[in-house]
Amino acid sequence: MLWPVPRARANARAMHRITLRRPDDWHLHLRDGAMLRAMAPESARHFGRAIIMPNLVPPVVTGAEARAYRDRILAALPEGHAFTPLMTLYLTEATDPQDVIAAHQAGLITAVKLYPAGATTNSASGVRDIDKVRGVLDAMAEAAIPLCVHGEVVDADVDIFDREAVFIDTVLDPLRRDTPGLRVVMEHITTRRGVDYARSGGPDLGATITTHHLVINRNAILAGGIKPHYYCLPVAKREEHRLALRAAAASGEACFFLGTDSAPHVDPLKEQACGCAGCFTATNTLSILAEIFEQEGALDKLEAFVSLNGPAFYRLPASADVITLEKGDPVAYPAKIDTEDGPVTVFDPMMPLHWRVL
Ligand code: NCD
Ligand code: ZN
């Protein structure tokens, strides 16, 4: 049973306050150990649930590992926060379909994550040959377990800015045709091609969009000096693609929902000759999104994007709880979050943020 879904409520003073069902984050990296302890409060402060990425070292591959990781996340949450981690398994060529089904039936996992081997941070154990995971995908289609897909090919001869579009044509579309009924989330889409493909895919296809891909294009990374804190994967593309993503998010269409891909790395690992990919946005995401949706004239669609479309795709109830955002003087966020492993730079949206979460 889905909860009845009210539209975002605005007060009379021309949208100076908006109240939304509590948002969820449908793609989040919480990490482990000291980093997890520092990051769990950053997401739990505003979000009700999050799909937790399994790309730890070593990755979360079995139901038993997902249970243990879930328990570590719950132990890292501050008192009084009702935050639910929705666990995922990292798909490998050795994944046992029976373990996936059992973990899902036991309520331990919500989805399975497909990383093409080598596509991004900690993806070395990912899939090289899709034929080796056919059995798992067929079982998932049968059990309606969503597959979250990192949609980039890894071929060295494909330009990094083309990897998403080539993946859609050469991997994703054939995979969906070969596995009827498979429910797929295109994670962190970055191109107009991704937007168009998600839109045309019917009710079993969804797409997450990150906060940072609504803010930056590739100039933010490369123009006027190299800016490692804007480097993530998939890498931000040209401006026309950012505009397509903004229009998609602000459309309120059911297939598009927030997955921040908030991906913390300590500064020394970002600011070096071969820096890690990942933007850390958990702390200020909702202020950024409210600003963007206001710029788009679409504050009335914010709730669909952050609180309603995701649960509907995952066949979960929308949150019963609400949050309120208020517009006022620019909000200050910390530039960095300190962890026992070192500082993590908070994503700088390069614009003042006027919306604060009350
Ligand atoms: C992610 C990470 O650091 O784990 N990095 C990123 O740039 N988004 C991995 C991922 O989601 O691709
Ligand atoms: Zn990610």
Q: Kindly report, residue by residue over 108-145, the tens digit of the pLDDT.
A: 999 999 999 988 888 888 999 999 999 999 999 999 99
Q: Cα–chain-centroid distance for residue 26?
A: 5
Task: Clarify whether 169 is annotated catalytic.
Answer: no
Q: Which ligand is nearest to the CA of 221?
A: 1
What is the per-residue pLDDT for 121? Answer: 80
User: pLDDT of 327-355, one tens digit each?
Assistant: 999 999 999 999 999 999 999 999 999 99
Q: Residue 234, preceding bond cis, omega within 30 degrees?
A: yes
Mutation test residue for ligand 1: of 30, 39, 55, 57, the one with most atoms within 8 Å of CB: 55
| Pocket lining: 55 vs ligand 1, CB cutoff 6 Å | yes
**CA–CA distance, 21 with 198 (Å, rounded to integer):** 24
| pLDDT confidence of residue 2 | 46
203, with CB counted inside 10 A (0-12, 13-18, 19+), is: exposed
What is the distance in A from the centroid of ligand 2 to the CA of 25?
A: 11
Interval 168-191 mean pLDDT: 98
Q: Is any ligand 1 atom within 6 A of the Cβ of residue 263?
A: yes
User: How far are the Cα atoms of 66, 168, 348 from residue 242, in angstroms, in the given order?
Assistant: 34, 18, 17
Instruction: Tell me the percentage of the chain whose pLDDT exceeds 70.
Output: 96
Closest ligand 1 atom, CA of 210? 8
The pLDDT value given to residue 119:
84
Class of domain 17-357: alpha beta
- pLDDT tens digits for range 305-330: 999 999 999 999 999 999 999 999 99
Q: Extract the tokens encoding 255.
A: 């297939």
Give the residue-averaged pLDDT of 153-159. 95
Q: Give the atom of ligand 1 at the shortest distance from the alpha carbon of 187.
A: 11
pLDDT-derived band of residue 14, with 50, 70 and 90 as boundaries?
low
Q: DSSP label at 256?
A: E
- Asked if residue 121 has its Cβ within 6 Å of ligand 1, the reply is yes
Cis omega before residue 311 (within 30°)? no
From 32, 71, 169, 261, active-site residue: 261
Indicate if the pLDDT at residue 12 is higher than 60: no
pLDDT bucket at 1, cuts 50 / 70 / 90: very low
Please compute the mean of the pLDDT values over residues 28-48 and round it to a whole number.
98
Between the alpha carbon of residue 209 and those of residues 21, 187, 206, 250, 272, the distances in Å are 19, 7, 10, 11, 27
Give me the phi and psi of 164, to 5 degrees please. -70, -50
Return the structure tokens found at 91.
Answer: 């798909």
Residue 110 CA to ligand 1 center (angstroms) comes to 19
Average pLDDT in the chain: 95
Residue 4 pLDDT greater than 50, yes or no: no
Contacts (Cβ under 8 Å, ≥6 apart) of 278: 29, 121, 232, 233, 261, 263, 264, 265, 270
Indicate whether residue 194 lines ligand 1 (CB < 6 A).
no
Pocket test for ligand 1, best of 31, 153, 230, 233 (most atoms within 8 A of CB): 233
Per-residue model confidence as pLDDT tens digits over 230-274: 999 999 999 999 999 999 999 999 999 999 999 999 999 999 999
Q: What is the pTM of this model?
A: 0.95
Q: Is the CB of 31 under 6 A from ligand 1?
A: no
For ligand 1, pick from 60, 113, 261, 345 the residue to mutate: most ligand atoms within 8 Å of CB.
261
pLDDT at 81: 86
